[in-house]
Every structure is written in structure tokens, then in C-alpha cells.
Amino acid sequence: MKKILLILFCITLIAASAFATGKQEEKKSDGPKSITVEIYDRSNPGGSKPEDNFFTDFIKEGMLRDYNVNVTFKPVPRWTEVEVLNNLLAAKEAPDICVTYSYPTVQTYANMGGVLDLAPYLKQYKDKLPNLWNLLGDRNIYWDRDPKTGTVWAIEALLFNNMRNSVFVREDWLKKLNIKEPTSLKEFEAMLKTFKDNAKTLLGDSADKMIPFAMSTDVGWRADPLSTSFVPDSITDKEMYINGFDDRRTLWPGIKEGYRVLNKWYNEGLIWKDFPLYGPSDQTEGNLTKAGYVGAFCGNWDLPYRDGDNGIHANLKKLVGPDAAYIAIEPFKNDAGKYRKYLSAPVDRKVFFPSTNKDPVSSLMYLEWIATLENRRFLQIGEEGVNHEKQADGSIKAIAAKGEKIMNSPNNIDYTILINGLDLGDQALNIKSLALAYAGVDKRYLEKSYTIMKHDSRVTPNFNVGEIKAEEGMGPALKEKRDNLLVKAVVAKPDQFDAVYDAGMKDYLNSGGQAIIDERRAKYDAIVGN
């Protein structure tokens, strides 16, 4: 009897094994499916090919192993992504999974039938997407759901560490000239003048290269800490929304006076005089900063500390000396005496599928794979001993890798397209590791900039009122007009500033800006009310 039972048990095991093998063979016999995924090309000096490197191989191997899907990455220039993506969508050559910071671009092509409605797929396959839902939740997944039609043209990635721009100044220059960190606009301006007047002391034979304050052609972004300090603290959520189409806050009240200050500084020789000559992807300003010629600038809260050996911090140490470094400061108060920072809502890039996507299910599985903690965790921190060191308390300290395992973006955010910000799955470890996430940088610099960003901060609101038809197709055109008018206003003669700024703003509003404001106000009043 025991022998018979043993035989039956063995037969059962063999049958179960054959069934499992049959499932695998059935999966393989179908042949692998294929999808294409957009990836940003940042043209980093010393970087790897964004579409073909160690981390893309990790993703490709994982997707083929777990879902039998081949992945091909299609690079898109980061700084002209909207224009290039527009061209790809118009030519029906866009990747199956697209990523952009511009929702109006998504809406424009959705209205033309060029974007898939994700709502039915998200509903049908929700049980197969547990990691996607766990990461983003209903809030980010349905952030852009139309309140009337229920369509979902894009999923909003999670802005995990909600930051914006800090003001940075050369800490070693402050010490050398015995200047206290400025805490007001007046003190900041005096500091810039002192830098200019002491160029010989600070730069020696390179005194003629002195740049007290650096700027780029994206004035609205780079001047944000200064310009928003002129926004009345009493601004309401409604005002911020209605006038918030432009993420540079150009239409917010008071902003113009911040640009008037820049105009004054430019005409006094305190701002890099050649900044209008160099476009958004040009490396000239960055190289001048790395070489040690720039006293102060505004930029992303961690900008000086990024990119390891290729970044600003490392190059200053190498080219100038061990004490050379930028430190974040808080110099610009608003009318209420607050160092107000207007942070974004907790959303980041918009992920969508163009209508040319023939396999939306495999594309959803890609998002599920990227959302899985162990996968995105590896992408964010890389290999132990190569990209990071594990500390005794479990926190992660970054190492500046070179060669094939270099990261082209902070924490590989270009691959972790559903999240921007380090997430190790434990909030305590996240906080400890964030200050260690920049190889070769003393954590005090990150801690200070982080603290400043959170001080007196206010999150801008989102109101889902449905499609704003006036925004359709206007993103690139209005962006170009805005950038041009701000550059022209900054470099104008002081007595011509108002005329130049007002003419540019009038053109901006007449070219579609006012129509967007009017429709936003009407939709807000109709759906949100008072």
C-alpha cells in the first residue's frame, strides 16, 4: 500500500512539474513581445549612451525574464524634449511609452486621437499592477482623469522629494572677503558688488573672467527664488491655479519686479554678460562655474553636488582648491518677511502611451516592473561597492562610478520614470541616505540646502477641472515667447525695461496666454466654486 501511495505521489509531482513547464513553454512558444521606451539624453560629459548601458541591460534582462518582453530605448534630448516629442508624435514614430513634463503636449495629441486612454486598461488589469498602485496610489494614477469623461491620458509620476531651487554662493569667497551669508536682497546685492570689486583678490590673473552672478536663457527657472520673493504672501490657491499655466510663474502678481532687479544687476555688470548667447543644452555656463569664475547662482536644490567627478563640486576641488565650494543660502524675503518657496504638487513627469502603441498591456507591465521596489531600488543606488556603500545603520552612501556603470541622471531618475527622489522603502533610511547620495560631497551641504527648501515652503495647488482647450498646442510656442521676453527684458537698458517687458507680455497674452487664463477661471468657478 505504501509503495502504491509513493508511486501516486511521484506521478502527482511529475504532472505538476509538467504543467508548470507547459505553462513556461506556452509562454516562450508565443515568442517575446517588443516595446520601445523613451529615455532622456542629457549629453553628459563622460556619460554613457542613455539607450545602451549597464542599467538599460538590467531593465532589458528583467523584462525579458519576468514578462517575456523585449525593450528598446529611444533617446530624446532632455532640454528640447517637448519639441522632439511633438515631432515624433506627429510622424507617428513616438516610442510605445512616452515621458514628458508637459501635460498640454499630451492633451494636444489626445484630442487628435494620438494618445491611448489608459482608463479601461488600468481598470481591467489593476490586479496585475499591485506595485504600480502601491507606489502611485489613486492620487497620482488618476491625477489627470477628466471629471466628466473619465479619460486618463497620462499617469503622473511621484515627486518623492519635493524640492525646487536654492540660491548658492561660493562659501570660500565669503570667508576670504569676511562677508556674512546674506539674509536679505540688499545684503545679497552688496555681496555681488563686493565680488566684482575684489575680482583680483579672488581670481588673480583671471580677474577679467569674474562672474558675480550666473544666469541662463531659462531666466524664469533660474531666477525663481528671487522672482517669487516679490509675489504677495496673500496670493490665494485660486490665483495660483488660474495664473499657473506657466510653470515659471511668469503670470503671478509681483513677478515682474524680480526681473527688474535682474535688469539692474545686468546693467551694473553683476550678471554674466554673455548668457543670452548660449542655449539650454550648452555647457559653457557650467564649465565657467566648474572653473571657479562664478560667485553665485540659483538652480536645482542639489545642482552643485550632482554628477560626481563630472559635477561642479568635484571640479571646484580639483581646479581651484579643497576649500572651494558652493553653499545654499536664504537671502530673499517676501512682503510678509518669509523666505517663501513655492513647491510643486507631488507630481513629476507624465507617462503616456501614444495611439501607435500596439501592446499597451506589455507597456503596463513595464510600468509595473519599474514600480517594483527591488527593481527601482537597484536602479536608484546601483551595485554595492561600485555605485554605493552600505553604512552600519543601513543607509546608503553614493560612490561616483565611472565607465559603463556611471549614472547619467541623479539616482537614475531617467529610468525610474515613475518616481523622482530616492526611495529605499524605509523613510528613516531615505532621510539618512539622501545626504549621502552625492559622492565626494560633505553631507552638511545637502542638509543645509534641504532644510532651506522646506523652510517657509508652500505647495502649489491642483484643481482637476478637466481639459483646458485653450492650452492645446500652446506649450512650445508660449514657452519660446516667455523665454525670449525675459532674456530681452533682463538685458534691456534700465529706462527701456518696462517697455520691453510689457510689450513681450502683451504678445504672450495675445498669443494664447490670456485665453488660457480666462478658461481656467471659468472652469474653476464652474467646478470648484468659491
Q: Which residues have a Cβ under 8 Å from the Cβ of 421 and sit 6 or more positions away?
A: 158, 159, 160, 161, 162, 411
> Cell numbers 505538476 label which residue?
16
Asked whether residue 187 carries a pLDDT value surpassing 70, the answer given is yes
DSSP string, 357-384: -S-HHHHHHHHHHHHSHHHHHHHHH-SB
* Average pLDDT, integer, range 441-450: 92
Q: Is 149 helix (H, G, I), strand (E, B) or coil?
A: coil
> Strand 98-100 to strand 347-352: parallel, antiparallel, or no bridges (unpaired)?
antiparallel
Q: Is 81 helix (H, G, I), strand (E, B) or coil?
A: helix
* Average pLDDT, integer, range 346-374: 97
The reported pLDDT for the residue numbered 7 is 42
Q: Count of CB atoms within 10 A of residue 322's CB? A: 9
The reported pLDDT for the residue numbered 173 is 98
Asked whether residue 475 carries a pLDDT value surpassing 60, the answer given is yes
The reported pLDDT for the residue numbered 45 is 85
The reported pLDDT for the residue numbered 10 is 44
Exposed, middle or buried: residue 138 (CB in 10 Å: 0-12, 13-18, 19+)?
Answer: exposed
* Average pLDDT, integer, range 85-93: 95
Asked whether residue 448 carries a pLDDT value surpassing 80, the answer given is yes
C-alpha 377/C-alpha 370 separation (Å) is 9
Mean predicted lDDT score pLDDT of the chain: 92
Q: Count of CB atoms within 10 A of residue 65's CB? A: 10
Alpha helix stretches (DSSP H) within 30-129: 54-67, 81-90, 103-111, 119-124
C-alpha 305/C-alpha 312 separation (Å) is 6
Total-model pTM: 0.79
The reported pLDDT for the residue numbered 161 is 87
pLDDT class of 530 with cuts at 50, 70, 90: low
Backbone angles phi, psi at 375, to 5 degrees: -75, -50
The reported pLDDT for the residue numbered 21 is 42
> Cell numbers 530673499 label which residue?
332
Compute and round to an integer the Cα radius of gyration of the chain: 26
C-alpha 419/C-alpha 417 separation (Å) is 6
* Cell triple for 476: 512650445
Q: Is 151 helix (H, G, I), strand (E, B) or coil?
A: coil
Asked whether residue 191 carries a pLDDT value surpassing 90, the answer given is yes
> Strand 326-329 to strand 341-343: parallel, antiparallel, or no bridges (unpaired)?
unpaired
pLDDT in tens, 285-321: 999 999 999 999 999 999 999 988 889 999 999 999 9
Range with lowest mean pLDDT among 19-33, 83-97, 236-250, 368-382:
19-33
Q: Which residues have a Cβ under 8 Å from the Cβ of 300 and sit 6 or more positions away?
A: 163, 164, 165, 166, 306
Residues composing the chain: 530
Q: Which residues have a Cβ under 8 Å from the Cβ of 74 and sit 6 or more positions away?
A: 36, 37, 38, 39, 51, 95
Asked whether residue 366 carries a pLDDT value surpassing 90, the answer given is yes
**Selected residue with higher pLDDT from 7 and 143:** 143
pLDDT in tens, 111-166: 999 999 999 999 999 999 999 999 999 999 999 999 889 999 999 999 998 999 99
Asked whether residue 174 carries a pLDDT value surpassing 60, the answer given is yes
The dihedral built from the CA positions of residue 87, 90, 92 and 97, taken in this order, carries a sign that is: positive
The reported pLDDT for the residue numbered 483 is 97
Asked whether residue 183 carries a pLDDT value surpassing 80, the answer given is yes
**What structural domains and CATH numbers belong to the chain?**
31-162+347-390+401-425 (3.40.190.10), 165-343+460-464 (3.40.190.10)
